[in-house]
Amino acid sequence: MNILNNNNQPKPVEFRVINTEEMPPIIITQNENDEPKVMVNTHHRIWISLHRRTIAGIIDNLQEKMDAILTGYLEENRAFERMDREE
């Protein structure tokens, strides 16, 4: 699947289906090229199926949380940059 990046260019997202008791239902991580990888664990297919609409709706909240984290990080780094320039 391709997701658009900031330049409206397709950015690859690797999807894998796994089946293992040891892993959670859905995992978001990075592949060997440092690109996003999503693993769906079919061992939990009943739970995933039952919560499919909630899982799909998570993306809005996830985007808000990531934005808040990144804004905080950028504000902190900007404050450090300004302090360095004042010295």
Domain shared by 1 and 41, yes or no: yes
Domain shared by 20 and 4, yes or no: yes
Q: What integer pLDDT is reported at residue 3 of this predicted model?
A: 59
- In this prediction, residue 1 has a pLDDT band, given cuts at 50, 70 and 90, of low
Domain shared by 65 and 42, yes or no: no
Domain shared by 15 and 34, yes or no: yes
SS (H, E, C) 28-76: EEECCCCCEEEEEEHHHHHHHHHCHHHHHHHHHHHHHHHHHHHHHHHHH
Domain shared by 25 and 41, yes or no: yes
With residue 78 as reference, give the H or E element that holds it: helix 52-86
Q: For residue 2, is pLDDT > 60?
A: no
Number of domains in the chain: 2
Domain shared by 71 and 36, yes or no: no
Cα–Cα dist 27/45, whole Å: 14
Domain shared by 17 and 45, yes or no: yes
Six token digits for residue 8? 């409206």
Domain shared by 34 and 73, yes or no: no
Entry pTM: 0.70
Domain ranges, residue 45: 1-50
At residue 82, the 3 state secondary structure works out as helix
Q: What is the pLDDT of residues 43-78, one digit of tens each?
A: 999 999 999 999 999 988 999 999 999 999 999 999
- CB 1, CB 15: distance < 8 Å: yes
Q: What integer pLDDT is reported at residue 87 of this predicted model?
A: 77
Q: For residue 24, is pLDDT > 90?
A: yes
The larger pLDDT score, comparing residue 87 to residue 49, is at: 49
